[in-house]
Structures are given as structure tokens and as C-alpha cells.
Amino acid sequence: MTPEFANETDDARPIWLVRDTLPEGLDANARSWAEATGFSGKAGQICLIPGADGSLSGALVGLGAPSARPARQRFVLAKAAAALPAGAWRVADWPDGVDASETALGWLLAQYGFGRYRKAEGAKARLVAPDGVDAARLIAMADGEFLTRDLINTPAADMGPDALEVVAREVAARHGFAVSVIAGEDLLTQNFPMIHAVGRAGAQPPRLIEMTRGETGPTLTLVGKGVCFDTGGLDIKPAASMKLMKKDMGGAATVLGLAQMLVATGAADGIRLRVLIPAVENAIAGNAFRPGDILTSRKGLTVEINNTDAEGRLVLADAMTYASEDKPDWLVSMATLTGAARVALGPDIPPFYCDDDKAAEAIYRAGETFWDPVWRMPFWEPYEEMIEPGIADLDNAPSGGMAGSITAALFLRRFAEGAGRYAHFDIYGWQPAAAPGRTKGGVQQGARALLGALPGLLA
């Protein structure tokens, strides 16, 4: 599925965006119809306008009163994309305060439907790209998100480590990346012991997928958690907690979507872009790693395993050590890492961690600009001792149940030494209920914020 705008030559029906008064361009019959049907301009309200011959001549879409608070939902006008009949549509006028690019991106995102297992189509209404928007860039954003959504929505039986590798190779072939993969026992001989330990009980061999593009310029390395299914290991999850664990590779899905977006928009030109995905299944078998085990990481730090369900930070640690050995200018990790992040901020807003104040502000502002909200959290130094168990250098699951997202971020930062700057995103990767421009299911988070911020940060 490829997001698309309507062709400008199509005979597009007009859409009028309405606040509290009907637009002057409406004829008398349309005004009478709107009043008779009770159209008031309430945010998200839609009124289809019949022509004199009974055909559909246009539509009114409500924005809410000018004095009302900003819309509670992003892409509120994407409701129209889902509700309007198929065909081409154009916005007849743009009231003050309406962002044409947000409207256009929301319409593109509303076209998504996950149809791998049954027919599922998104919105069939197509919008003519508004004047002044960067249509190609918006399509690249939506296309990258569609890739991420497809990967997260696909169950582990069809998106295990081997299938994730196949997709990575396909993305690489389309966008000019070189690919290498270290798998199975080779992970031990090439010193990725924690990736191997977490994934060795899985039905498919664990692996580290590496994609590289560009030979000159500053280096950006993206590391995405690729736990294709997470049973919790021997510290097994309850059944209710396991239902969504196909999404535990959401970090990998997001960095693949982001890498595609960076290339498609030209933001990857002039930089060295590297993507690392430790792809594993955290399963249960006789050779599964155990609570109480002490693993030695690629970096040489020892890690006491106090919960086998805190496995994402283990596979990321080896991949991030490998990334840091090349001293990238920027290292970014993305992972569906902690439930603590969701307790703190809910499903819509992923926390991110970054020691550089200016860079963190740039990421936050880019999230606002590109309708991809993120929220900065602290690498809180006093909590460092919480991840130091005494018997080993690090604890993968500190007891006490407090500051879980922060302690996970502090754990990962230990393996980012060598990178110029580092940011970590603790994403959820899932839309619990359908919203404008977002179907229920897998969703991309943080990628557009990084797309907007990173070119400036790498300059």
C-alpha cells in the first residue's frame, strides 16, 4: 500500500472548512441544506452537500468555534478522509490557524489499512495536495509510517527474526544500503553474547542485522529493539500481558521506517547512516537464560539477570557497544522498553532521554512541528546506584518498581560511551483505539520528530 494524493487534474469536489459560520462561497441551496441537517461546524462534523440534480457536489467539515481550545486530537480533519465517499477532494478555502501540511498528512495516514490476512482498506477519499505543501515529503513520511505499522501488526509467526531480516534486506535494496547479518553461534564467536543469550531459546536463530549507507559526512547510527515476540522468558508473562508482544519489535520497525524516510526525503544525503537491529525471540526452552544468571556483555560489563522479561536492554546493549566502537556523531536507540513509560505518559507520548539540552529542545520542537509529540525525561544520576547490584556491574531489573523507564535509560547509556551524542526513545508503538489518521494497532512514534531534528543536529 502506497499513500497518495489525488491527481490535480481529477475533477475534485470542494470541501469547505467551517468554524462557527458558513463560508460565503456557499450557494443558497447548500446553506439551506446545512441548516436543515443541523450542521453547526462542530469539530469533526461532516455535512455532504447535494447538487441540484441530486449528485454529491461537495462537503462541509467542522473545525469548531475560533474561541475553542485547540483540537484534542491530532489530524482531526482526517476524520473527513475516513467518512467522505471515494474520489478526489480539494479544500476550497483555508481558515486562519489551519495547518495545510497537517491536514494533508492526516489524510495520507488515513489511507492505511492492514490487509495481510483479510481485506482491510483505509480511507478511499483522496485529497488534492494543497498549494504550498511539500507533497513528496509528506508522502515519504506516510510511507515510512505504513512500513512501521505493517511490521508491528504482523504476528510473530510471520514476523520472526528471519522475516524481519528479509524486510530489512528489501528496504536496503530499495534505498541503497549495504547489509550484513551475524546469526546463531556466530554471535558468540564475534562477541555479541547478550544477543545470543536472549535469543538462543527461540524457534529461529538470533541475529544482528546491520545496514549501512554513505561513506562520508557525519555518522548517524539508529539501533532498534527487534524482540519479535516476548514471552518474558522463564519469568513468563501472564497471558493478558503477552497478547501484544508481537509489537515488542516496534523499535526495529520504527528505525526501519525512519531510515526509509531519511533517504526518501534526502535527509540521508551527505551523512553516513547506519542501522543496527538485534532480532531475537525471547522464548522458553531448556537453553533459555535464567534469573540469577550473570552475563558478560560485549563491552565487558557483567549483568545480573534479575528478570528475564527485561531482555530488550540486553540485546540493545551489545548492539550499542558495537555502534559506539565506530564513534558515531549521533547514536539513537528506539525500543518498546518499559511499562513504566506508559504509566507515566500514556500511549500517545513516548519519553526520550538526551543529555544535550539544545539537541533535546530541537527534538521536542520538531515533534511539535511534525505532529509527533515526544517528552524529555532525565538521565537522573542519583538513580545510577539502583542499577548496580553489587554481585555484578549492572542489574537488568532493579527491585522496588520505581523509575523503571529512567533506570532502563541509565542502563543503556552505559553502552553508548564513544558516541558523540546519544538519545534514547522508550516508545509504545501501539494505538489502543482508532483515532484520526491512526487505525487501531501498530503506530510509529518519534520518527517524524527525529526526521525534523536530525539534519540540523548533524550539520
Catalytic residues, by residue number, are 237, 313
Count of positions (residues) in the chain: 459
CA angle 94, 98, 102 (to 5 degrees): 115
**Residue 408: closest CA among 358, 449, 458, 352:** 352
Give the position of cell 456557499.
26
Give 302's strand partners: 296
Residues 6+ apart with CB under 8 A from 226: 161, 164, 209, 249, 251, 252, 277, 278, 279, 280, 315
Say if residue 400 is exposed, middle or buried (CB neighbours under 10 Å; 0-12, 13-18, 19+).
Answer: exposed
- Other beta carbons within 10 angstroms of residue 9's beta carbon come to 8
Give the position of cell 527474526.
161
Give the position of cell 476550497.
92
Q: Are 275 and 211 in contact (CB under 8 A)?
A: yes
Residue type, 255: V
Phi, psi of 303 (to 5 degrees): -130, 120
The three-state (H, E, C) secondary structure of 214-238, written as one string? CCCCCEEEEEECEEEEECCCCCCCC
